[in-house]
Chains A and B, each alone.
Chain A
Amino acid sequence: MATNLNTAAGAGSSAAPELCWLEEVRKDDVALVGGKCSSLGELINAGVRVPPGFALTTHGFARFMRDAGVSGEIPFMLNGLVHDDLEQLELVSRDIRSMIEEHPFSWEMEDAIAEYYRRLSVRCMVPAVPVAVRSSATAEDLPGASFAGQQDTYLWIRGVDDVLHHARRCISSLFTARAISYRIRMGFPHEEVALSVGFQKMANAYTAGVMFTCNPGNGDRSVIAIDANFGFGESVVSGEVTPDHFVVNKITLDILERTISCKEITYTVDFETQKSVRTETPFERQNVQSVIDEEIIELARMGKAIEKHYGRQMDIEWAVDKDLPAGGNIFILQARPETVWSEKRDKEAAVAGKATSAMDFILSSLMTGKKVS
């Protein structure tokens, strides 16, 4: 479908699509659509409920950079920069970013993106469907500082013009002073950086958050930890609130721990302006459990399935859509491998210690005793 449209719109060829639907990619397509989008494609194809969307591929990105004349300009602008000259870096970054953000897409690309956006709206049965526009980096697996955090996410974007504008803003985020400095230091050629941009239907989140398929406190693989707050998940991801915290038994799917926090901030949509806003949560809701038990258990079930699909512990973003009925309203927005505990456990010694028989273990445990205080 994507390739046909591309061809029809004259925006690319089937061999190097400039746009594609998320369900057309898999986790191995990082070079094409970056880490975030390829992972979403993988999830969709694994049967996980993910809001539909499309991506501007790295080919699309490269074409924009070429069309805009940016790719020729940039090496020149970066020439002679040193990674620790922050003032100069900031200046150059500002120039490059405004150059990117002000430059229109070619009419072919604009048409193609508009057509994808229109189709997405039709699929969602929402006119000018609100989308989240996110950069999806291809270099997330680089050691050290990850680019992902430096690139922007724009919530509740509606209408073609805004979609295009925020796509450019995502692209320009490749050229923050920090990103430029990092690439210089690492000797990573600027002309080789690539980026994809994802456009994903925005869940009108009643509540949202993150989920780990292990206990982030102790690495226990037998539980799933869920953090939640009202509204979009950004308040949880950014650490702006202390979210509600739940620990669910992965094997039996019952809630072992629940901590309801005072949650003062909500990210939601202002229906007047149709913009994402950060608001103070009404006082009477601040201490209310932000996600109901049934949803917690359903989330855990989904987390367990995603972990099984990937064969490793995962770090997942999710949302509960308030416009949809229960049973079909929980969405996975992102899933990536959890690394901290998986790596730590690999290095740790066996719990059994030196004991090789039950008797040995009983003896050594008797010697150690159980802690009282």
Chain B
Amino acid sequence: MKFPVPHDVKAATIPGTEGWERMYPYQYQFVTDDPVRNQYEKEMFWFYDGLHYPEPLYPFDTIWDEAWFLALSQYNNRIFMVPPVRGVDHRMINGYVYISPVPVKNPDEIGSRVPHFMERAGHYYKNWDDLEKKWKVKMEATIRELEKLEIPRLADMEDLSVVTDAVGESKGYHLLKNYDDLINLGIKCWQYHFEFLNLGYAAYVFFLDFAQKLFPSIPAQRVTQMISGIDVIMYQPDEELKKLAKKAIELGVDNAVTFSQEWTEVEAALKKLPKGVEWLTSLNLSREPWFNVSTGTGWFHHDRSWNDAMNIPLNGIQTYIQKLKQGVNIERPMEQVRAERDRITAEYRGLIEKPEDLKQFDELLGCAKTVFPYVENHLFYVEHWFHSVFWNKMRDVAAILVEHGIIKDVEDVWLLRRDEIKQALWDVVTAWATGVTPRGTQTWPKEVEWRKGVMQKFKEWKAPPAIGTAPEVIQEPFTIVLWGVTNSSLADWAKVAEVKDLSTVKEFKGFAGSPGIVEGKARVCRTVEDIRSLQEGEILVAPTTSPSWAPAFAKIKACVTDVGGVMSHAAIVCREYGMPAVVGTGHATKIIQTGMMIRVDGSSGAITVAR
């Protein structure tokens, strides 16, 4: 398969963005002045990581990319010694992240890594549940530490206690140190993130692989169905909304909860009612930690949590109150999900003829079931809970930069790299200590304005799905799972990418996420805020969905996403609700417009647009 040369793509700089490279770490650049590195880059296969980054990265948000660049690679290559693969290399063009798994080429080296891998990975698989318990303790301690972390403001005169307690340190020093601590906690959290993840993915992906070897036509969604029905905390935020909806009806405050879409108005009205106060108490219990769920994937600063944007969970509660009043059952049909899982598993199992295959099937299925909760649950701990708290701590840092004239608005901070922020903080604290004006007050506002313009241009740019040279095989589990790197999906993407005018596309394909065929009116929702406009019975078309989108699924009859595989949120939820889903289409939100009639075939993965 032919893909563009990375350096050609990069060389076609968008006018007005010249010099954008300084917004990102230098090692992320495709280079032309280093022949060896240039050659390496040309020979590698680079995927646009659209699953995690549907939009270009803001300079600060690069933190999580660097964090997982390190974490995933170290676990593969230095800790578990995955025999045929090292880490995953990263590059960036116009703010879009491209990744490439790095193979171990020398067969002898691969061989010598095998016993280490068996010992090390084997230890984790064998002791999975115990180690996962320890992980939760570590992770929760890290989040507590983050929550306690104080970002001090710089007073004109330090408190007297600094003298009387002989602290010996200033708030200026604390600001620098705590900023470092904040960043370090983030990086640590991501160290934990990958402790289990790749092994989890490996167990899952090779169970899938085994099932597909036994049954070449088995849809991936049916394999994932065999490990469905396991309780995971990723669904808890949505469960809390349902609980609160029921509670509102029970207490008779449902009218107060539903009379406005504005949380402040609803809250004020509830405070006037005795039962309303009782309901608010229940709400506050749900909020920690469950409303730390992000309204996006949690990967970006603009992914606010429910706690930050209470109108969103309010909208969800209102949807559920409405459903309950209509007499609709809003519970997840877990009994059915489990019964269907068991039926499907038993039927497929019944078709396996050879005893050794049957044994291996059971082993791999067991292993996949063991790793499944972690693969889902880590998302809540890291991407949602930790990140939501983290972004707000960063806003505290930004407030200080605003106060000292480095940036004009708190939200400007994301346009700085984290090391630039550190530098700016030094500028601020030394100027504060000295009693002079920070130099950055004259340089940063201008730079920030320019970067905003660059980001806008980046957003309008269409990142090619893949660049470089396609290898024959990919051996890196994370890459295999998340990007569903199969011949067909790349070919399908490439086919659509060749079409100049997307408004002429009538048919395209994605992954069959949840079976069934439905025709209906499309509603394109780019963010979770847009789900308010969803009408009953529409088909949701979204870049991707996350648990905070859950209430939308009570209204729709099918779902289409740009990114995600059969394990993505949209696919899992649609299977539970028994409605079709096609996921990972690459371009659905660009091809489909709200109001269009579309046909979603969740069994074959085909989308047809009526034009």
A-side interface residues toward B, CB under 8 Å?
215, 218-223, 247, 249-252, 254-258, 293, 345, 350-352, 355-359, 361-363, 365-373
Decide if B410 is an interface residue (CB 8 Å cutoff).
no
Chain B hits for A218, CB < 8 A: 216-217
How far is B209's CA from A4's CA once the two chains are assembled, in angstroms? Answer: 61
Nearest chain B residue, comparing its CB with the CB of A248 = B603
CA distance A251 to B341 in the complex (A): 11
Are the CB atoms of B210 and A361 closer together than 8 Å?
yes
Known: A358-B360, A361-B206, A367-B110. A220 touches B218 (CB 8 A): yes
Q: What's the nearest-Cβ distance from chain A to residue B61, in Å?
A: 29
Chain B residue with the shortest CB-CB distance to A225: B217
Question: B456-488: contact bitstring with A at CB < 8 Å (1 yes, 0 no)?
Answer: 000000000000001111110100100001110
29 A-B pairs whose Cβ atoms sit less than 8 Å apart in the complex: A222-B348, A249-B218, A249-B222, A249-B515, A250-B347, A251-B344, A251-B348, A252-B222, A252-B515, A254-B515, A351-B357, A356-B360, A358-B203, A358-B364, A358-B367, A361-B360, A361-B364, A362-B203, A363-B114, A366-B83, A366-B85, A369-B473, A371-B472, A372-B45, A372-B472, A372-B490, A373-B472, A373-B487, A373-B490
Query: Cα distance A209–B24 when bound, in Å?
Result: 61
Min C-beta distance of B123 to chain A, whole Å: 11
Q: Are B475 and A370 in contact, CB atoms less than 8 angstroms apart?
A: yes
Across the interface, which residues of B come within 8 angstroms of A368, CB to CB? 473, 475
Question: Is the C-beta of B215 less than 8 angstroms from some C-beta in chain A?
Answer: yes
Interface residues of B in 432-477 (CB under 8 A from A): 470-475, 477
Q: Is B597 an interface residue (CB 8 A)?
A: no
CB distance from A312 to the nearest CB of B (A): 11
Smallest beta-carbon distance A373→chain B, Å: 5
**A371/B475 contact (C-beta < 8 A), A255-B603, A350-B354, A365-B206 known:** no
What separation, in Å, do the CA atoms of A234 and B535 have in the docked complex?
49
Which of B114, B118, B125, B217 interacts with A220 by CB under 8 Å? B217
Partner of B217, one of A215, A365, A366, A372: A215
Q: Are B206 and A254 in contact (CB under 8 A)?
A: no
- Neighbouring B residues of A369 by C-beta, 8 Å: 84, 473-475
- Contact: A256 with B344, CB < 8 Å? no
Nearest residue (CB) in A for B512 is A256
- Measured between alpha carbons, how far is A370 from B121 in the docked complex, in Å? 20
The minimal Cβ–Cβ distance linking B161 to chain A, given in whole angstroms, is: 58
Q: Which of A250, A256, A362 contacts B219 (CB 8 A)?
A: A256
- One of B356, B473, B517 near A371 (C-beta < 8 A): B473
Which residue from chain A places its CB closest to the CB of B114 in the assembled complex? Answer: A363
Instruction: Name the one of A249, A254, A372 contacting B487, with C-beta atoms under 8 angstroms.
Output: A372
Sample of 15 more A-B contacts, CB < 8 Å, known A222-B348, A370-B475: A251-B344, A251-B347, A255-B604, A350-B356, A351-B357, A352-B210, A352-B356, A352-B360, A361-B360, A366-B475, A369-B473, A372-B1, A372-B486, A372-B490, A373-B471
Contacts of B348 in A (CB 8 A): 222, 251
Contact between chains at B471 and A372 (CB < 8 Å): yes
Within the complex, which residue of A223, A367, A372 is in contact with B470, where a contact is CB–CB below 8 Å?
A372
| B595 CB within 8 Å of chain A | no
C-alpha spacing A216/B202, complex, angstroms: 31
Shortest beta-carbon distance from A352 to chain B in Å: 4
* Residue in B closest to A352 when the chains form the complex, CB atoms: B360
Min Cβ gap B145→A in Å is: 35
**Residues from chain B with Cβ under 8 Å of A221 in the complex:** 215, 351
Is there an interface contact between A256 and B364, defined as CB atoms closer than 8 Å? no
Query: Contacts A222-B218, A366-B82 hold; do A359 and B118 have CB atoms under 8 A apart?
Result: yes
Contact mask B508-543 → A, CB, 8 Å, 1/0? 000010011100000000000000000000000000
Residues in A with CB closer than 8 Å to B64 are none
Closest chain A residue to B365 by CB distance?
A358
In the complex, are the beta carbons of B344 and A362 less than 8 A apart?
Answer: no
CB pair A351–B353 under 8 Å, yes or no, is no
Would you give the 0/1 interface string for B340-360, flagging 1 where the beta carbon is closer than 8 Å to chain A?
A: 000010011001011011011
- Nearest opposing residue in chain A for B480, CB measure: A370
Contact B215 A350 (CB under 8 A): no
CB distance from A100 to the nearest CB of B (A): 46
B472 x A254 contact (CB < 8 A): no
Q: Which residues of A contact B490 (CB under 8 A)?
A: 372-373
| B135 interface residue (CB < 8 Å to A) | no
Q: How far is the CA of A114 from the CA of B213 in the complex (A)?
A: 55
Which chain B positions have C-beta within 8 A of A258?
604
Cross-chain contact A352 with B359 (CB below 8 angstroms): yes
Find the A residue at minimum CB distance from B490: A372
Among B80-124, those with CB < 8 Å from A are 82-85, 110, 114, 117-118, 121-122
A252 to B118 CA separation, bound complex (whole angstroms) = 37
CB distance from A206 to the nearest CB of B (A): 22
Chain A residues whose CB sits within 8 angstroms of the CB of B367 once the complex forms:
358, 362
B487: chain A residues at CB < 8 Å are 371-373
Q: Which residues of A contact B507 (CB under 8 A)?
A: none
Docked complex Cα distance between A367 and B125 (Å): 18
A-side contacts of B83, CB under 8 Å: 363, 366-367
CA distance A191 to B210 in the complex (A): 54
The residues of B that contact A293 with a CB separation of less than 8 Å are 517
In Å, the complex CA distance between A292 and B433 comes to 80
Return the CB mask of B370-404 against A: 1 if under 8 Å, else 0.
00000000000000000000000000000000000
Query: Across the interface, which residues of A come within 8 angstroms of B110, CB to CB?
Result: 367
A201 CB, nearest partner CB in chain B, Å: 34
Q: A254-B516, A255-B604 are in contact. Are A351 and B214 (CB under 8 A)?
A: yes
Given contacts A365-B209, A366-B202, contact A252 B344 (CB under 8 A): yes
Give the 5 A-B CB pairs with smallest separation, nearest first: A369-B473, A369-B475, A352-B360, A222-B215, A358-B363
CB of B366 closer than 8 Å to a CB of A: yes
B202 vs chain A, min Cβ distance (A)? 5
| Smallest Cβ-Cβ distance to B111: which chain A residue | A367
**Are A370 and B485 interface neighbours, CB within 8 A?**
yes
Interface pair A370/B351, CB less than 8 Å apart: no
The distance in angstroms between the C-alpha atoms of A247 and B601, with both chains bound, is 14
Give Cα distance in the complex from A44 to B480, angstroms: 49
Contact (A367, B353) CB under 8 Å given A251-B348, A257-B604, A373-B1:
no
Contact of A367 among B1, B84, B219 (CB under 8 A): B84
Asked if B215 and A358 make an inter-chain contact with CB atoms under 8 angstroms apart, the answer reads: no
Q: Which residues of B contact A373 (CB under 8 A)?
A: 1, 470-472, 487, 490
B117 closest partner in A (C-beta): A363
Beta-carbon nearest neighbor of B479 in chain A: A370
Q: Which of B113-159 contact A (CB under 8 A)?
A: 114, 117-118, 121-122, 125
Task: Give, as a whole number of angstroms, the nearest-CB distance from B21 to chain A.
Answer: 29
Closest B residue by C-beta to A219:
B216
Q: Known contacts A218-B216, A251-B348, A371-B472: does B603 contact A352 (CB below 8 Å)?
A: no
Across the interface, which residues of A come within 8 angstroms of B474, CB to CB? 369-370, 372
B606, closest chain A residue (CB):
A258
A350 to B360, CA, bound (A): 10
Minimum Cβ distance to chain B for residue A178 (Å) = 37
A306 to chain B, nearest CB (A): 16
Bound Cα distance A298, B351 (Å): 21
Nearest residue, chain B, Cβ from A351 = B213
Q: CB-CB < 8 A to B209: which residues of A?
A: 365, 370
0/1 string, B191-234, CB within 8 A of A gives 1: 00000000000110010011001111111001000000000000
State the CA gap A309–B342 with chains docked (Å).
23
Cβ of B182 to closest chain A Cβ, rounded Å: 37
Q: Within the complex, what minimum Cβ distance (angstroms) separates B201 from chain A?
A: 11
- Name the B residues within 8 Å of A355 (CB-CB): 360
Q: Which residues on A sit within 8 Å (CB–CB) of B206?
A: 361-362, 365-366
Please name all residues of chain B whose beta carbon is closer than 8 Å to the beta carbon of A365 when the two chains form the complex: 206, 209-210
Contact B351 A357 (CB under 8 A): no
The smallest C-beta distance from B110 to any residue of chain A, in angstroms, reads: 7
